[in-house]
Amino acid sequence: MNHELSHWISKSYRKQSGQSLVEFALVLPILALLLFGIIQYGFIFSAMLTVRNASAVGARYAVVGSPSGSNVQAVATGAVAPMLNAGSATASVTPTNLAGNTATSVTVTYNLPLIIPFVVPGKTAGGSLTLSATTVMR
C-alpha cells in the first residue's frame, strides 16, 4: 500500500508542477506589460513635469529678469536640463492680453523619444511623444 500511495503522490505532484508552469507562462506577458507600462509612464510623467517647469521658468524670466525680452527662449529650453536634452526643446514667447493687462506667454515643446513604445496606445517602435506646456505671466 505504501508503494501505491507514494506513486500516486509523485504523479499528483508532477501534474501540479506542470500546471504551475503553464499558469506562469500565461501570466508572465501580462505582468511584464504592466511593469513596462509603469516604467514608461513614469518617464512620461517626469518629462511632462520638467517641460511644465521649464515654461514657468521662462515666463518668470521674461517678466522679472529679462532686459527687453532677450534670451527667454534660451532660458526656457535650458531649464529642461539635466532631466531632458535641452537641444531637443523649443520655446516660443508671445505677448498676450490677460484681463486687460499685458502679459507674456511662454510655450515649451519637447519631442520625447519613447523607450518602451508598445505600452503607449498608438505608438510603434521608434516612436516619440510630443509634450507641450504653456505658462502666462504678467
110 contacts 89 by C-beta, under 8 angstroms: yes
pLDDT of 84 reads: 92
Which pLDDT does position 105 carry in this prediction?
92
**pLDDT value of residue 10:** 62
Residue showing cell 510655450: 107
| Domains of the chain by residue range | 37-137
- Residue pLDDT tens, the chain, 138 long: 566 666 656 665 655 667 888 888 999 999 998 999 899 999 999 999 999 999 999 999 988 876 655 688 899 999 999 899 999 999 999 988 888 888 899 999 999 998 888 788 877 777 888 999 999 998
Residue 54 corresponds to which cell in the numbers above? 521649464
Nearest-angstrom CA–CA distance, 101 and 79: 27
Please give the C-alpha separations between residue 59 and each of 42, 71, 95, in angstroms, as whole numbers.
26, 11, 11
What local confidence, expressed as pLDDT, does residue 64 receive? 86
User: Grid coordinates standing for 112?
Assistant: 520625447
Amino acid at 81: A
| pTM of the model as a whole | 0.77
Q: d(Cα 13, Cα 19) in Å, to the nearest integer?
A: 10
The rounded distance, in Å, linking the Cα atoms of 26 and 47 is 33
pLDDT value, residue 118: 79
pLDDT at 58: 92
pLDDT at 5: 62
